[in-house]
Amino acid sequence: MLDTHTAAVEQRVSTGSLPGWQDVDALVRDAYERERDDRAGDVARYIPSLATAVPDQFGVAVVDVMGGAHDVGDAWTLFSIQSISKAFVYALVADEVGHDAIGERIGVNNTGLGFNSVMAIELNEGHPMNPMVNAGAIATTALIPGATAEEKWSRLAAALSAFAGRHLAIDEAVYASESQSNDRNRAIARLLLSYGRLDDDPAEAVDLYTRQCSLLVSAHDLAVMGATLADGGVNPVSGEQVVSGQVSRDTLAVLAASGLYEHSGEWLFEIGVPGKSGVSGGLVAIAPGKGAIGTFSPRLDAAGNSVRGQRTAAHLSRVLGLNIFASRSAGDAAVEDV
């Protein structure tokens, strides 16, 4: 980790706001109509329970930091959160153990390799590198405080529910299916243990990770969860301070670097906001200080990312002014303000 000597310096922020509620509502509905007939991609088939997904389901939700919500299509349809859970479990653990400790133990750099790569662990002397790949996510989940696996699970489930502003339940069928087909994750956990990167039983860590991926959410839930990170850790619907503002900032930075795995650079180049996808078809894109987009569409591209979700997020990023790298000249802004 870089030694930046900024721990005692007050963090200033610079964020804008979304257009008016009616404008946002119209733009979200337009984005849904633009993509609703897209049939590109296919459902995930390497996890048996996900192979039964209805491929043409499609929902879009946008939630702003004031709690305003815009839901279209299958925005309330439930599906398993899968890898999107990594972002919020990372935030939970970072809030518990602190910026420096989790940065040193887990890391924040993109591996440049697949999310379940074993080679990435070996190439980096056992370091998981970042919490968005499976190795880093398993190591992060293992850091959740608790004397027993059930205590850890209770804490994890409660935190993710707080992000969503409602109780999240497990899809038991998905949990059972993934538990029977997660040999690679068990191997990754054993490898982390051999390098001293896990303090707990690797089988227990993988089981907790599998359970977190099986929690049921909707596109609306993802937008609320993302908006919580966008609003300095405050859930815009419940008003609860779920994590600190610094943890929210750190989590969004990690998502920007590694949220879409080895395609994170392309995502940031084209869409310009931190994001995270899951192989069940969920996707969240977060604009700091403004709000978040949640989408659900099970048809995935070859990298395992929702096709319609990515295209919808790209369109909304442009029309809602979400891209964190977009700017205009000071002269143009001054002319408009006259």
More confident residue, 53 or 334: 53
Asked, for residue 169, whether it belongs to a domain, the answer is yes
Burial of 121 from C-beta contacts in 10 A (0-12 / 13-18 / 19+): buried
User: What are 28's two structure tokens?
Assistant: 């979200």
Looking up residue 93, the CATH number of its domain turns out to be 3.40.710.10
Q: How confident is the model at residue 4 (pLDDT cuts 50, 70, 90)?
A: very low
User: What are 46's two structure tokens?
Assistant: 């390497």
The range of the structural domain enclosing residue 181 comes to: 21-323
Asked, for residue 15, whether it belongs to a domain, the answer is no
Position 338 scores a pLDDT of 45
Residue 261 labelled as part of a binding site: yes
Position 8 scores a pLDDT of 55
- The total number of structural domains in the chain stands at 1
Asked, for residue 332, whether it belongs to a domain, the answer is no
- Paired residues of 80 in beta bridges: 216
Position 17 scores a pLDDT of 85
Residue 178 labelled as part of a binding site: yes
Q: Region 208-220: what's the mean pLDDT? A: 97
How far apart CA 147 and CA 139 sit, in angstroms, is 17
Asked, for residue 336, whether it belongs to a domain, the answer is no
At 6-35, the pLDDT tens digits run 455 665 666 788 889 899 999 999 999 999
At 40-79, the pLDDT tens digits run 999 988 888 888 999 999 999 999 999 999 999 999 999 9
* Contact indicator for 240, 162 with CB cutoff of 8 Å: yes
User: What are 78's two structure tokens?
Assistant: 């439930």
Mean pLDDT over all residues of the chain?
90
Burial of 313 from C-beta contacts in 10 A (0-12 / 13-18 / 19+): buried
Position 13 scores a pLDDT of 64
Position 23 scores a pLDDT of 94
At 92-123, the pLDDT tens digits run 999 999 988 888 888 877 676 667 676 767 76
How far apart CA 12 and CA 323 sit, in angstroms, is 19
Residue 209 labelled as part of a binding site: yes
Position 89 scores a pLDDT of 97
User: What are 113's two structure tokens?
Assistant: 């390799």
* Contact indicator for 222, 282 with CB cutoff of 8 Å: yes
Residue 83 labelled as part of a binding site: yes
* Contact indicator for 337, 41 with CB cutoff of 8 Å: no
- Paired residues of 283 in beta bridges: 277, 295
Position 70 scores a pLDDT of 98
Degrees, nearest 5: CA angle 123-125-127:
100
Residue 32 labelled as part of a binding site: no
Position 112 scores a pLDDT of 65
238 contact partners, CB below 8 Å, separation of at least 6:
162, 165
DSSP for 113-140, please give it.
S-TT-SHHHHHTTT----TTSHHHHHHH
Residue 185 labelled as part of a binding site: yes
User: What is Dmax (Cα atoms) for the chain?
Assistant: 65
At 145-197, the pLDDT tens digits run 999 999 999 999 999 999 999 999 999 999 999 999 889 999 999 999 998 88
How far apart CA 186 and CA 177 sit, in angstroms, is 15
Asked, for residue 184, whether it belongs to a domain, the answer is yes
